[in-house]
Amino acid sequence: MLNRVFKLAPWHFIIVIVVFYILTVVVADVKLKQMPLAPVHTHLIELEEIELNNEELYFVFFHDSSSELCEKMRFNIEKLIESNHEPVCFYAIDVSKNPRPFYEHNVSGIPNILVFKGNKEIKRIMGIVPYKNLASIVQRMRKYA
């Protein structure tokens, strides 16, 4: 009488996936709206192309000035530059105004940061990275570069 066994049907999985997707979109949207935008004053140096001949470690931020996601990441970078006691070389390339370096370095999307030691790319940082994670990445890159 009560020996019924509950079996999962394929439509159960579809419902779970749809609910998970909706929750992910809603949570991501809420988190994104909570992040402040970058201030008008900037510490980033805009580049036309990547041709730095020094052997120092530097970061090149690929962005689009009309993208809200890029502005959120730019805010995190500005915060890192302002709070860092050791100088960090951050440069920026606006791909809407200058797309050539974007294609030359096979950048797959924006926001994206390429890390260089001299003229050699040593790391890529893709997407929006929280300030604390970005700070630890920069600190780690300084140690190993």
pLDDT tens sequence across 25-49:
888 888 777 766 555 566 776 776 6
Distance of CA 18 to the CA centre of its chain: 26
Which range marks the domain in which residue 82 is found?
45-144
Is residue 37, in this structure, part of any structural domain at all? no
Distance CA 77, CA 128 (A): 10
Residue 81: predicted pLDDT: 86
Point out the residues of the chain with pLDDT beneath 50: none
Is residue 56, in this structure, part of any structural domain at all? yes
Is residue 112, in this structure, part of any structural domain at all? yes
User: For the range 112-115, what are the long-range contacts, defined as Cβ-Cβ under 8 Å and sequence gap of 24 or more?
Assistant: 112/61, 112/62, 113/59, 113/60, 113/61, 113/62, 113/77, 114/50, 114/59, 114/60, 114/62, 115/57, 115/58, 115/59, 115/60, 115/141
Residue 61: predicted pLDDT: 93
Total count of domains within the chain: 1
Is residue 94, in this structure, part of any structural domain at all? yes
Is residue 61, in this structure, part of any structural domain at all? yes
Is residue 9, in this structure, part of any structural domain at all? no
Is residue 36, in this structure, part of any structural domain at all? no
